[in-house]
Amino acid sequence: MIAVNHLSKIYKTDSVETMALSDVSFNIKKGEFVAIMGPSGSGKSTLMHILGALDLPTSGSYTLDGDNVSNLSEDELADIRNKKIGFVFQAFNLLPRTTALKNVQLPMIYAGIKKEDRIKLAEKYLTLVGLADRMEHTSSQLSGGQQQRVAIARSLVMNPSIILADEPTGNIATTQAEEIMEIFEHLNDEGHTIIMITHEQDIAEHAKRIITIRDGKIVGDIKNGKRRNLKS
């Protein structure tokens, strides 16, 4: 479903060129749960932005569901982000002073879904992440873990091809982080494709496959067998 071929990204600031990604290639199939690991500066965030259609590669190709994302216009990219990708950010990125219900509806507003349908879907996914009784709470009235669960509900409402999570547990307490990871595992069991960026080994252990990246190159790509054991 995801095909990345010889992907490179070069940042230019003044006269200095920084090679953030250098000739990266891999495939991700439907239903996988992939963790992309690496220290800061390794290029994992750059990779995540390109996979999320938030940024374009300098060279190489990125194909998502048969669309070559590197060739698309800005508006087409917006459509891809809206319909095929669900984002979960480290900083949650919820609208301030806005209720959970309204936050979850936002991608559906841009998709042009009718209000009654929006509310029904938003309620369904907020219930799924365990926030049935917090729908009218605004971001500041929720804990970090609860805010991230709102963000996960938001990433699910458009039924995207992939869920992209960038350090989803980076800003929340350890106990709540475990709850978040359980939600991701549950979603993966239901067939959702999840790509998660992290630098924490124990968080990465929740995934079925771990891609390690260093200095813009893939240095490891292993199946992770521990997950089932962890669950038991």
For other proteins, which is the closer residue by CB, 32 or 166?
166
Nearest to residue 36, comparing CAs of 231, 194, 229?
A: 194
43 binds other proteins (CB under 8 A): no
Binding residues among 51-80 for other proteins as defined by CB under 8 A: 52, 54-55, 74-75, 78-79
User: Considering only residues 62, 87, 125, 184, which one is a binding residue for other proteins as defined by CB under 8 A?
Assistant: 87
Torsion angle defined by CA atoms of residues 102, 48, 4 and 213, in that order, rounded to the nearest 10 degrees: -150
Nearer to other proteins, 76 or 189 (CB): 76
Judged by CB under 8 A, which stretch of 62-70, 106-114, 178-186, 216-224 contacts other proteins? 106-114
Q: CA 59, CA 23: separation in Å to the nearest integer?
A: 9
Nearer to other proteins, 98 or 143 (CB): 98
Q: Is 111 in the site for other proteins (CB under 8 A)?
A: yes
- Please, what is the minimum distance in Å from the beta carbon of residue 232 to other proteins? 37
Count Cβ atoms within 10 A of the Cβ of residue 140 and give its class: 0-12 exposed, 13-18 middle, 19 or more buried. exposed
Q: What is the Cα–Cα distance from 133 to 137, expressed in whole angstroms?
A: 9
Phi, psi at 148, each rounded to 5°:
-70, -30
Please identify, among the stretches 87-95, 141-149, 190-198, 213-221, the one whose residues bind other proteins according to the rule CB under 8 A: 87-95
Q: Who contacts 225 (Cβ-Cβ below 8 Å, separation ≥6)?
A: none
For residues 93 and 151, is the Cβ–Cβ distance under 8 A? yes
Beta carbon nearer to other proteins, 140 or 232: 140
- If the CB atoms of residues 97 and 231 are measured against other proteins, the closer one turns out to be 97
Q: What is the dihedral of CA 26, 29, 31, 32, to 10 degrees?
A: -20
Copy the structure tokens of residue 218.
Answer: 């893939």
Q: Is 9 among the residues that bind other proteins (CB under 8 A)?
A: no
Residue in the structure block whose two tokens are 């996988």: 32
Q: Binding to other proteins by residue 41, rule CB under 8 A?
A: no
Residue in 4, 37, 42, 49 binding other proteins, rule: CB under 8 A: 49
